[in-house]
Structure 1
Amino acid sequence: MKKIFLIGFSLMALNALAQKSDLRPLVSKKADAIEQKVIAWRRDFHEHPELGNTEVRTAGIIAKHLESLGIKVTTGVAKTGVVGVLKGGKPGPVVALRADMDGLPVTERVDIPFASKVKTQYNGQEVGVMHACGHDSHVAILMGVAEVLASMQKDIQGTVKFIFQPAEEGVPAGDEGGAALMIKEGVLENPKVDVIFGLHINSQTEVGEVTYRPGGTMAAVNDMKITVTGRQAHGAYPWSSIDPVVISAQIINNLQTIVSRNLNVTENPGVVTIGAINGGVRSNIIPEKVEMLGTVRNFSKEDEAMFIERIKTIAIKTAEAGGATAEVKIPYSNHYPVTFNNIALTEKMLPSMQSTAGKEHVKLKPPVTGAEDFSFFQEKVPGLFVFLGGMPKGKDPLKAPSHHTPDFYLDESGFVLGVKLLSNLTLDYMAMKK
């Protein structure tokens, strides 16, 4: 059976290679020609980051660039999003390409000339703002793709929809934004999208490398809030209390048994993390209430349902055992589905990735327990989300600063491969559909 599958896959790969776009050499030439322009865009965005749903400056630069290329532009989508539509000279499918625009409430520590000095208010605190996840590079790369493809518009066999998305990192509780709001406002319609491609830079993958995974590639995420209510008392007389601090500690420990005892770890990974716990105001008062915030990660709908049920049962019953009550809100403020790469699409586009980056530089990767709201697009249309190397060559991935940290750093020499990759995925997919 395995041999038959491999033969079938090889035939599919050969067929896909035979249907490559003949515009590839031109894509490579044009991408190389604008490499420094892409880097300059990225540096500008990096120096002037904006948090989710406030990407006004970023959106303005994007819209102006797309309009200069003759691309039809819509602004204000999902608050600050920008959508460009490039209709090719020949009929064919509609391919969407997505880049996220928002920065993070992180104070930059990297010693570079274009380091962010931006400050803003976030959750009632003054914070630094930094592109600590590489969204600035995603925007610059997609702007480069737009310039490359617009220059060969008459030869394009279909329509390209450029989606510049705000608020991928999430929005405050009660607010809307990101991919879900763009979809709600019709970003996948008029014209109707057939397929969507996206990429994410990775600071711990060497430049020149592309990694991918068919099926579940990034986790579904639910955040949660657990409120434990007991009885307040003087710290000197704990027997007069129902102590929510002790009960919360028991809940935290008991939650870890979900992964160790309820999850089939041979099939999919999973994570339960309590990231914040707040209760009490001074050392000698046992408080009435403790609040915990956490995150849950899964790779299947079945595991997600199991985790939610077990979290509620463990929190509520542990609290009851101590004489307290527990209220569990999950999701509390956000939920992202599994970032699921359509398996047939991934197999079909693998030769395109390999011929762009070199077969030896395209590698299968393990699941990632981080989450991505690109997953909302993939729930509606077939999608492929891949990772692009951004770590300097020869550096130890274990020592390279990770995403969402003050020391996050990217080697800009990898950006041009991103331009070529998204351009070729678009044109090769169209060639397969002619």
Structure 2
Amino acid sequence: MKSKGIFALSLLASSSVWANSVDQLADQVQSQVVEWRHHFHQHPELSNREFKTAAYVAKYLKSLGLEVQTGVAKTGVVAVLDSGKPGPVVALRADMDALPVKEVNNLPYRSEVTGEYNGEAVPVMHACGHDTHIAMLMGAAKVLVAMKGELKGKVKFIFQPAEEGAPVGEEGGAKLMVKEGVLKNPDVDVVFGLHINSQTDIGTVKYRAGGVMAAVDPFKIEVHGKQSHGAYPWMSVDPVVTSAQMVMALQTIVSREVKVIDNGAVVSVGMIKGGNRTNIIPAEVDLAGTVRTLNPKARELVYEAMARKVKGIADSMGATATLTMPYGDSYPITYNDPALMAKMLPTLSRTAGEGHVKEAQAVTGAEDFSFYQEKVPGLFLFVGGKSLDVPEDKAPSHHTPDFYVDDAGMKLGVKLLSNLTLDYMQKS
């Protein structure tokens, strides 16, 4: 018991020393982090087109003396910091892509950039905060290089393209990075990621153990019937009425089959297409939508229930139907390993301070960080980017033209990435 107590005191003392050093270094690098953020915000690039962003990041990482690999998953950048001592491999990830959104903010570093999205000319904006993610991870890289003597093991910095989804006909994002071996050579033991949040106060970090962001499973249903004149519906097998029954029945999966007190789930039909005249009952109707789940069992249940209901209703109407799910890109649940969360929660408290660490509600939005967490334990956390004088209900949301986050929120992100790395290495 005595030796364990001495070890605990030693670890606490070491953590305190690191915190002071990290705090000081984060203060020193903050102006540079802000400068980087403004640069990326003013020069955004769409998914799988982050060429200039990647070159900028790679040049800086090389200036730190890191081993840098470019062209991973098309435009991704990966760098390794080797402490020269045995220990775990900790991966830190930031996403780099922007969105086809026109900025309306009157900022000195506002985006005026245009690009091409699925063959169309579009405005481009960092409307989800990925510019801050890049800058925070670059800042953490500088801090950890300066503290190399305190590290045990290796740090892998992952700057990822296409988190928002690759263009039609292309692969991209975390799924492609994993496919190309980003978690190998050296083999990653744990991965940490942050997302800035425009509606959370600066200085605050939010966490959740277990499912924190939903799995995404797009679906398509093709309903085949028999065409007829609209005046003679008895001569048809009506795919419109059949589809209407399917839409209503799909809503009962969440309301009547998913145990909602334990699991969150959403089944939304977002598209119905069929017919071309008012007086013709068509032969076919297509439905498409999205399923969101926060629990693997709920995900399995929804898959089974959708297939059962689609077939049952089609059979009852004399129609046929084909369900395709997933239809297109499908993301797993963003799942924070509970044991890892418990292990690192003291780091969050020490870094953000008393009263600034809050348990988050799960959200039905999605993140492709989940592809890393499928392979290794990982934590995905939310860092506040809302100015303290702005009411939460007045803060612009993500993916909107007036999206805005305060530069001051990035300092906590730099500290968290640095302290999570240092503390995990020590605790391992």
Scaled by the length of structure 2, what TM-score is found?
0.92
Pick closer, same or farther for the CA change 1:105–1:240 going to 2, 3 Å.
Answer: farther
Mean alpha-carbon deviation: is it higher for 105-114 or for 214-223? Answer: 105-114
Task: Give how far 1:167 is off.
Answer: 1.4
Could you say which residue in structure 1 is the equivalent of 2:419?
A: 424
Matched AA of 2:95 = D
Task: Give how far 1:139 is off.
Answer: 0.8
Task: Give how far 1:115 is off.
Answer: 2.6
Over aligned residue pairs, what C-alpha RMSD do you find?
A: 2.3
Distance 2:395 2:234 in 1: 50
Distance 1:105 1:418 in 2: 26
Pick closer, same or farther for the CA change 1:15–1:224 going to 2, 3 Å.
Answer: farther
Aligned partner of 1:372 among 367, 373, 379: 367
Could you say which residue in structure 2 is the equivalent of 1:220?
A: 215
CA contact (8 A) 2:45 2:115 kept: no
Matched AA of 1:58 = T
1:140 is aligned to 2:138 = no
Matched AA of 1:393 = L
Task: Give how far 1:308 is off.
Answer: 0.9
Q: Deviations over 1:17-62 (max 9, x none)?
A: 4552633212211211221221221122222222222211111111
Pick closer, same or farther for the CA change 1:372–1:239 going to 2, 3 Å.
Answer: same
Could you say which residue in structure 2 is the equivalent of 1:401?
A: 396
Pick closer, same or farther for the CA change 1:36–1:289 going to 2, 3 Å.
Answer: farther
Pick closer, same or farther for the CA change 1:404–1:276 going to 2, 3 Å.
Answer: farther
Could you say which residue in structure 1 is the equivalent of 2:3?
A: none
CA contact (8 A) 1:213 1:366 kept: yes
SS of 2:105 mapped into structure 1: coil
Matched AA of 1:148 = V
Aligned partner of 1:181 among 170, 176, 196: 176
Could you say which residue in structure 1 is the equivalent of 2:4?
A: none
Aligned partner of 1:312 among 307, 310, 319: 307
1:171 is aligned to 2:166 = yes
Could you say which residue in structure 1 is the equivalent of 2:335?
A: 340
Could you say which residue in structure 2 is the equivalent of 1:35?
A: 30
Q: Deviations over 1:141-194 (max 9, x none)?
A: 101111121223233222110001111122356532211221121111111111
Distance 1:420 1:272 in 2: 38
1:253 is aligned to 2:243 = no
CA contact (8 A) 1:101 1:164 kept: yes
Mean alpha-carbon deviation: is it higher for 247-256 or for 378-387? Answer: 247-256
Pick closer, same or farther for the CA change 1:432–1:176 going to 2, 3 Å.
Answer: same
Pick closer, same or farther for the CA change 1:47–1:281 going to 2, 3 Å.
Answer: farther
1:65 is aligned to 2:60 = yes
Which structure 2 segments of 5+ residues have no match? 1-6
SS of 2:328 mapped into structure 1: coil
Task: Give how far 1:234 is off.
Answer: 4.8
Could you say which residue in structure 2 is the equivalent of 1:7?
A: none
Distance 1:200 1:129 in 2: 20
CA contact (8 A) 2:150 2:422 kept: no
SS of 1:157 mapped into structure 2: coil
Could you say which residue in structure 2 is the equivalent of 1:209?
A: 204
Could you say which residue in structure 2 is the equivalent of 1:303?
A: 298
Pick closer, same or farther for the CA change 1:285–1:117 going to 2, 3 Å.
Answer: farther
Matched AA of 1:269 = G
SS of 2:374 mapped into structure 1: helix
Task: Give how far 1:238 is off.
Answer: 4.8
1:159 is aligned to 2:154 = yes
1:77 is aligned to 2:54 = no
SS of 2:393 mapped into structure 1: coil
CA contact (8 A) 1:206 1:394 kept: no
Distance 1:31 1:299 in 2: 35
Task: Give how far 1:328 is off.
Answer: 1.0
CA contact (8 A) 2:47 2:166 kept: yes
CA contact (8 A) 1:243 1:286 kept: yes
Distance 1:414 1:104 in 2: 21
CA contact (8 A) 2:264 2:295 kept: no
1:411 is aligned to 2:406 = yes
SS of 1:190 mapped into structure 2: coil
Q: Deviations over 1:211-233 (max 9, x none)?
A: 00111211111111122233344
Matched AA of 2:71 = G
Distance 1:362 1:212 in 2: 8
- For residues 98-109 of structure 1, the aligned pairs below 5 Å read 98-109=93-104
CA contact (8 A) 2:47 2:167 kept: no
Could you say which residue in structure 1 is the equivalent of 2:358?
A: 363
Distance 2:271 2:120 in 1: 16
Pick closer, same or farther for the CA change 1:233–1:225 going to 2, 3 Å.
Answer: same
Mean alpha-carbon deviation: is it higher for 14-23 or for 265-274? Answer: 14-23
Mean alpha-carbon deviation: is it higher for 374-383 or for 396-405? Answer: 396-405
Distance 1:104 1:202 in 2: 16
Q: Deviations over 1:289-316 (max 9, x none)?
A: 3322211111222111110111122223
CA contact (8 A) 1:52 1:168 kept: yes
SS of 1:316 mapped into structure 2: helix
Could you say which residue in structure 2 is the equivalent of 1:193?
A: 188
Pick closer, same or farther for the CA change 1:69–1:321 going to 2, 3 Å.
Answer: same
Pick closer, same or farther for the CA change 1:225–1:107 going to 2, 3 Å.
Answer: farther
Scaled by the length of structure 1, what TM-score is found?
0.91
Task: Give how far 1:284 is off.
Answer: 4.9
Q: How many residues are treated as equivalent by the alignment?
A: 423
SS of 1:377 mapped into structure 2: helix
Pick closer, same or farther for the CA change 1:228–1:122 going to 2, 3 Å.
Answer: farther
Matched AA of 1:184 = K
Could you say which residue in structure 2 is the equivalent of 1:278?
A: 273
Matched AA of 2:204 = E
1:26 is aligned to 2:26 = no
Matched AA of 1:140 = A
Pick closer, same or farther for the CA change 1:113–1:286 going to 2, 3 Å.
Answer: farther
Task: Give how far 1:206 is off.
Answer: 1.1
Aligned-pair identity (%): 58
Q: Deviations over 1:348-375 (max 9, x none)?
A: 1111111111021001112121111111
Could you say which residue in structure 2 is the equivalent of 1:49?
A: 44
Aligned partner of 2:105 among 62, 87, 110: 110
Pick closer, same or farther for the CA change 1:16–1:223 going to 2, 3 Å.
Answer: farther
Q: Deviations over 1:357-407 (max 9, x none)?
A: 102100111212111111111121111111101112143323322222222
Which structure 1 segments of 5+ residues have no match? 1-11
